Structure 1
């Protein structure tokens, strides 16, 4: 096999589309865990004037991949190892060999304390990416939840879209300090007592605070950070940033020859358009690195 793509989100599927159109033999490993599937409606993708849901976008892309005859394997890659001439991936006890591997494994968001955060996301009450959808929040009352030093930047960004931004701190879940350290004057927003939990009520999202008070918002943005799905590349010994992102060159190739990364696994700018660009660059380089496939 010419290339194995791990991850069937926008970046992985776009890589497959390019390679399939280059007439390369490709397989995709799909763990059905794309972060994009949670997007209720995206308005910053070109050509979709009225927006498109993440589920619909992925379905359209999967249809395009299927039309190219690309095999999609359901499951997770248990292990990935380097061997002479390429790589071998173990998926549910089956070994899959490929000359090149593209990791499009993405990230996993950390969620605020809330029982049904999935439903809140579907209703656009709980959001994670102001770069994606702050425009749709213009003029609304917005809360930003997270460790103060991490959440201040997101709160200040959102302040450019509405005059009502409230920063709701939470204990530092990353380091377990249990302390609240911030520079309130830098946030230019109101800062409340620490968060106890979030709830939904009558089309709004409610913050319950540790001091017993509460406040209602039109939208809450989580600024809790994320975990990079970089276990496979870490196990191979590829270089990573301090935050866990796979380090790649201008062709999206890692420090291990033949191993590529696209999308959120290599970038903290979590945008579908960025993943698309990564995919095009990686696929073109892979095609040019492989032996010519004359008809």
Structure 2
């Protein structure tokens, strides 16, 4: 069976595109491993219509149900191979998840920078192939986190990663920025307008350039250079950190700033999709089509502010233009 569209990635951008394409009446397949950045957020508070917040997991669950009600199909697995073209159709090779990978969603698990894999992905070849007339890549980004006792419990509740999403949550509160070098220093400075009770803990003791260090000092942000032994927490509510060298630091909120996030764009290179040096994929800002005709991009893997609402918009935009391409390819009336 040839699908009108194959979507690689069932996060927010991929689901929004699937819903839009399903409403056009197209045959759509979403390939998803159930593991993505949107599983991090316990509560998105900056989304229109959800004043009390909504979790990424809830959005994914309801979004999938909405897509399935429109006839969209889902395949659980990892897309590991891409080939083909708009003329011949795109072939997507998928490897089914092993039993030990099912439910291995947590972002603290190891991942391969620049790739598209679940924890422990062996790099094995596909065991199933699908063909689609158009292709949407919505494979996303995964943040880099250390394995710290207590972090899993707090992540998305009182410890955050995105200042645009959750900077409001630290307003006026004693906040620790747990990070490394320049990324951690930058995160602390970004949060400074929200609170003056900030301490940057340079967990990896990575260098901070002189300019950033001067800005930290001028902003009155304390810096502690040394590894963290554990997050002190109670039911997901951070109380501070225990330092490996002894002593503790108290906190009401925490932010992570380690840098080195994994941009899952390695798969796109198989088709020759143009990438930036940081791994993000380039696309037309209006249509979301890449330099490869018939291949589209949406969500954090592209170039934008990495916001849920932006990912939704990009998914819808890509779907609108994919619909035009499908109609044109099938010699149906199109604008």
Give TM-score scaled by structure 1 length.
0.91
Taking the aligned partners of 2:257 and 2:175, their CA distance within structure 1 comes to 13
Query: Per-residue displacement from partner, 1:36-89 (whole Å, max 9, x unpaired)?
Result: 122111111101121111111111111110110110111111211124422101
- CA shift at 1:280, angstroms? 1.6
Instruction: For 1:175-186, list aligned pairs within 5 A.
Output: 179-182=207-210, 183-186=212-215
CA RMSD of aligned residues (A): 2.0
Query: Is residue 128 of structure 1 aligned with residue 161 of structure 2?
Result: yes
- CA shift at 1:119, angstroms? 1.6
Match of 1:234 among 269, 278, 288: 269
- CA shift at 1:180, angstroms? 4.7
- CA shift at 1:215, angstroms? 0.4
Instruction: For 1:10-25, list aligned pairs within 5 A.
Output: 10-25=12-27
Taking the aligned partners of 2:92 and 2:33, their CA distance within structure 1 comes to 14
Query: Per-residue displacement from partner, 1:238-289 (whole Å, max 9, x unpaired)?
Result: 1111111011112111121111111111135221111011112111111112
In the comparison of the two structures, how many residue pairs are matched?
289
Query: Is residue 97 of structure 1 aligned with residue 99 of structure 2?
Result: no
- CA shift at 1:105, angstroms? 0.7
Taking the aligned partners of 2:185 and 2:225, their CA distance within structure 1 comes to 15
What is the match of residue 192 of structure 1? 224
What is the match of residue 111 of structure 1? 145
Gaps of 5+ in 1: 173-177
- CA shift at 1:205, angstroms? 4.1
Give TM-score scaled by structure 2 length.
0.81
Whether the aligned pair in 1 keeps the contact of 2:154 and 2:233 (CA below 8 Å) is no
Whether the aligned pair in 1 keeps the contact of 2:172 and 2:196 (CA below 8 Å) is yes
**CA distance 1:179–1:160, change in 2 (3 Å):** closer
Whether the aligned pair in 2 keeps the contact of 1:17 and 1:65 (CA below 8 Å) is yes
Taking the aligned partners of 1:198 and 1:265, their CA distance within structure 2 comes to 31
